[in-house]
Amino acid sequence: MKIDAEALLFDNDGTLLSSMESVIRCWTRWAAEYGISAEEFAAVELHGRPAAEIAADLLPADVVPGAVARIEQLEVEDVTAPGGVVLLPGTAALLASLPADRWAVVTSATRRLAEARLAEAGIRPKAMIAADDITRGKPDPEPYLLAARRLGVDPARCVVFEDAPAGLRAGRAAGMKTVALATTHDASELVADVVVSDLSAVSAQATHGGVEIVVAD
């Protein structure tokens, strides 16, 4: 499958890299510190959601700001631990093939945490939208629409790469084409223009008008 686009917008965790081992390690410690039972913690979806939303599901409102600061501290400190950040297949080759002004990272993590993880993986995007930049997170289209504006590209000419259903819904709501990666969810749970195993199934080449993307479907 070929897609002509002007910009590629990438989710971070589960798309470009994996920090799942770190996430589980840090959030488990965080939950214990705040007296959250294993049953309560197991019922909450962690992946692809801002920390503030997760904390608000589990704690009283007056405790949430301090709890969010605490989990950010734990996760930033854990970036360099074994398994803290693992580059996913295809990421390095695909990003190396793209002009720096033709792609951006759109993440539900805070900017501080996202930059720490990306730097550990050797990725330095020219543009990034983080939780700090928005008022409504995925599945709202705001993060992806803001990324398109930052790059100066029509949303209809953007392609979103995501591993989570909420992120894919955000991309579709923004009027963008979507490519789903079955890295954290079963392919049957993912609704997109095309579903692949990971970014090793994607290649791209800069053209005079933008980027030609080839996806093995």
pLDDT digits (tens, 9 = 90+) for 38-55: 888 888 887 777 888 899
Residues 156, 129 within the same domain? yes
In the prediction, which pLDDT does 217 show? 66
In the prediction, which pLDDT does 47 show? 73
Counting the structural domains of the chain, the total is 2
Residues 74, 110 within the same domain? no
- Of the residues 46, 61, 78, the one at which a domain ends: 78
Residues 182, 92 within the same domain? yes
DSSP 17: E
- Of the residues 37, 57, 78, the one at which a domain ends: 78
Residues 31, 98 within the same domain? no
H-only helix segments in the chain: 20-33, 38-42, 51-58, 64-78, 91-96, 111-120, 142-151, 165-173
Taking the C-alpha atoms of residue 181 and residue 167, their distance in angstroms, rounded to an integer, is: 11
Residues 39, 111 within the same domain? no
Taking the C-alpha atoms of residue 151 and residue 159, their distance in angstroms, rounded to an integer, is: 13
- Of the residues 78, 102, 123, the one at which a domain ends: 78
Confidence check: pLDDT of 10 > 90: yes
Residues 71, 104 within the same domain? no
In angstroms, how far apart are the furthest CA atoms of the chain?
56
> Which sequence positions are flagged as catalytic?
11, 13
Mean pLDDT confidence for 68-86 = 95
Residues 14, 42 within the same domain? no
Taking the C-alpha atoms of residue 167 and residue 49, their distance in angstroms, rounded to an integer, is: 9
Residue 131's domain spans which residues?
2-18+85-215
